[in-house]
Structure 1
Amino acid sequence: MKKHIYIYSPSSAVRDKAAFKRGVKRLQALGHEVELDEAVLATHQRFAGDDATRLAAIARAAASGADVALISRGGYGLTRILDQIPYKAVAKAIDRGTEFVGLSDFTAFQSALLAKTGAVTWAGPAIGEDFGAEAGADDIMEACFDDLLGGQGEGTGWRMPARDSADLPAFRSIHDAVLWGGNLCVLTSLLATPWFPAIDKGVLFLEDVNEHPYRVERMLDQLRHAGVLGRQKAIVLGQFTGIRKVPHDRGFGMQAVVTRLRGLIKPPVLTGLPFGHVPTKVLLPVGAKVEVAADGRNVFMVWGHRHPHPH
């Protein structure tokens, strides 16, 4: 199943060149044709080239005709250029069959594209931290990526942590809801801008890294006070990693954040989604209609068969 994968850098500069090279070699070893954007390793300050360079890279990715346009890494950079991205060209590329995949800072691109065009992208791996991981690429992540390439992925499932599911009220299945979200910090930064998707009765998934639980709670409260959380059919929390606790937290952590949130909003808050800055991550179709059901601690999210576009 040889596919054409285009690697580009729309955000921060690639700093771990070894991981980047391992990731490229891993995709090539899987039999894929890997095309590197001409500016994929460019550097300007902390960015992968200046704003014009990264905008041009996005345009080249859209024009590449590749099966997948995959980011080298996240970091920071896309919110600087949201008012200049060629959204129509990207949406047309998606219509022609190019799947755009990424996470973290890429949430800004995905959210803005969804708000402007309704086009579906995929929350998924990056070349360096995932395919180029020093310990090797995660098996589940690779299997999910293969499903995307083959047009076979129809959904995902996971088990909520027992401590989180104990106080979850009776959960009814959800039908015909748009899946959206991504990195909590990036998404919250888009609130009240044209790049924030106006989605009601959707399924909002969130993750983050290196944010203390009080910062996570503050961002969740911002979304809650803005009316965003209460308008959804469900909130799905992925992995919140890199948390550094301090003595005066006195038991305040993500569990306390989740418990409080459940007491403040009507939509169910599900936890344990295998997505975020972690090796084991599923791929999620941002902007697609999904169905969600739970059986005890077991959660199932289905988006049905998405036929790959013929080139």
Structure 2
Amino acid sequence: MPSLYIYSPSGAVRDRAAFRRAVRRLQAAGYDVAVDPAALASHQRFAGDDETRLAAIERAAASGADVALTTRGGYGLTRLLPRLPYDEIAAAAQRGMAWVGLSDFTAFQLAVLAQRGTATWAGPALMEDWAGEAVDEITAACFDDLARGVGEGAGWRLPRADGQAHPELSAGWRLEGVPLWGGNLSILAGLVGTPYLPAVEGGVLFLEDVGEHPYRIERLLTQLLLAGVLARQRALLLGAFNRFTLTPHDRGFRLETVVAWLRAQLPGVPVVTGLPFGHVPTKVVLPVGRPVDLVVEGRDVLLFWG
């Protein structure tokens, strides 16, 4: 029976009934669930003050659980980066713990990768994926594979527009043993120029975001482009960019416009869309900081890390 440790390193959990429902669902699915004593703490918009949340991370590292699962994202981890217990986090990962989360958790993941070379997992969060009316079967299955230590990869269909933009992909294309890294675009861009952004060369960078208008997405990508981050990668994988509203002022400027612009700035670097990850019901788990093989066969995109 895989063991989970539920803790809150970022935003406060406001819906306690939904929290309890999510925990019961994980228990019913066969997990041994331990809940951090400060999981429902609240201070301003945070799940407790900085000291409270740092202590929760330390307890998660010492818990011995198979998976340390965040309750939610929001905001709060970036301000903790200088004080994270990096040695304890790395030691727990070395013992086999999978640190799992998304969104604001990107700050934690990139910092521990930059500071200790520690790999973590981009994946679901308690409130995002188990507290609603239903649990997505693919998300639950991918998480269960990770918790049981049998996950080996992920795959999705290459959108037709990608094949047209990158004909070399449709003909068969692969990268072998390249580091996969990334996460939430806003969080990642905010780490540029700090010691908490990994200096990954020749990697596969995956990105997602939520609630950001396409022009803001382009602005964040431009920051990474001008900082030289994007040109140093072998490929970019774009997940979900959603929950934004276009306006009449946009006059046709939309997310597809941004993707086309990005491809024009990065000749020779495939920009692949459709990655099932982000603030969407169906999401895979992805290793952050581990080598992967990326294979495109026809319209099938496959990531292997097993």
User: TM-score, length-normalised on structure 1?
Assistant: 0.95
Deviation by residue 1:38-76 (Cα, 9 ceiling, x = unmatched) = 100000000000000000000000000111100000000
Shift of 1:292: 0.5
Residue type of the alignment partner of 1:226: A
Deviation by residue 1:224-280 (Cα, 9 ceiling, x = unmatched) = 111110000100000001021001111111111111111111311000000000010
- Partner of 2:298 in structure 1? 296
| Distance in 1 of aligned mates of 2:51 and 2:86 | 15
Percent identity of equivalent pairs: 60
- Partner of 2:144 in structure 1? 146
CA-based RMSD of the aligned residues comes to 0.9
Structure 2 counterpart SS, 1:293 = strand
Q: In the alignment, is the contact (CA less than 8 A) between 2:2 and 2:148 conserved in 1?
A: no
Deviation by residue 1:140-166 (Cα, 9 ceiling, x = unmatched) = 001001111221111111013223432
Structure 2 counterpart SS, 1:224 = helix
Residue type of the alignment partner of 2:20: K
Residue type of the alignment partner of 1:56: A
- Partner of 1:308 in structure 2? none
- Partner of 2:274 in structure 1? 272
Moved more, 162-171 or 258-267: 162-171
- Partner of 1:8 in structure 2? 7
Shift of 1:31: 1.6
Q: In the alignment, is the contact (CA less than 8 A) between 2:156 and 2:274 conserved in 1?
A: yes
Residue type of the alignment partner of 1:52: E
| Distance in 1 of aligned mates of 2:7 and 2:79 | 17
| Distance in 1 of aligned mates of 2:82 and 2:292 | 29
Residue type of the alignment partner of 2:249: H
| Distance in 2 of aligned mates of 1:165 and 1:19 | 41
| Distance in 1 of aligned mates of 2:17 and 2:111 | 31
- Partner of 1:156 in structure 2? 154
Deviation by residue 1:13-60 (Cα, 9 ceiling, x = unmatched) = 001222211210111001211111010000000000000000000000
- Partner of 1:202 in structure 2? 203
Q: In the alignment, is the contact (CA less than 8 A) between 1:116 and 1:195 conserved in 2?
A: yes
- Partner of 1:66 in structure 2? 65
Shift of 1:293: 1.2
- Partner of 1:261 in structure 2? 262
- Partner of 2:182 in structure 1? 181
Structure 2 counterpart SS, 1:75 = coil
Structure 1 unaligned blocks of 5 or more:
305-311
- Partner of 1:244 in structure 2? 245
Q: In the alignment, is the contact (CA less than 8 A) between 1:130 and 1:138 conserved in 2?
A: yes
Structure 2 counterpart SS, 1:300 = strand
- Partner of 1:167 in structure 2? 165
Q: In the alignment, is the contact (CA less than 8 A) between 2:100 and 2:123 conserved in 1?
A: yes
Q: In the alignment, is the contact (CA less than 8 A) between 1:164 and 1:255 conserved in 2?
A: no
Structure 1 counterpart SS, 2:83 = coil
- Partner of 1:23 in structure 2? 22
Structure 2 counterpart SS, 1:166 = helix
Structure 1 counterpart SS, 2:44 = coil
Deviation by residue 1:99-139 (Cα, 9 ceiling, x = unmatched) = 110000000000000001111110001011101222x1100
Residue type of the alignment partner of 2:235: A
Moved more, 281-290 or 153-162: 153-162
| Distance in 2 of aligned mates of 1:203 and 1:36 | 34
Shift of 1:202: 0.4
- Is 1:93 the counterpart of 2:92? The answer is yes
Structure 2 counterpart SS, 1:12 = coil
Q: In the alignment, is the contact (CA less than 8 A) between 1:22 and 1:128 conserved in 2?
A: no
| Distance in 1 of aligned mates of 2:195 and 2:42 | 29
Residue type of the alignment partner of 1:153: G
Q: In the alignment, is the contact (CA less than 8 A) between 2:179 and 2:289 conserved in 1?
A: yes
| Distance in 2 of aligned mates of 1:177 and 1:244 | 36
Moved more, 145-154 or 70-79: 145-154
1:31-42 equivalence runs, <5 A: 31-42=30-41
Q: In the alignment, is the contact (CA less than 8 A) between 1:19 and 1:129 conserved in 2?
A: no
| Distance in 1 of aligned mates of 2:222 and 2:21 | 40
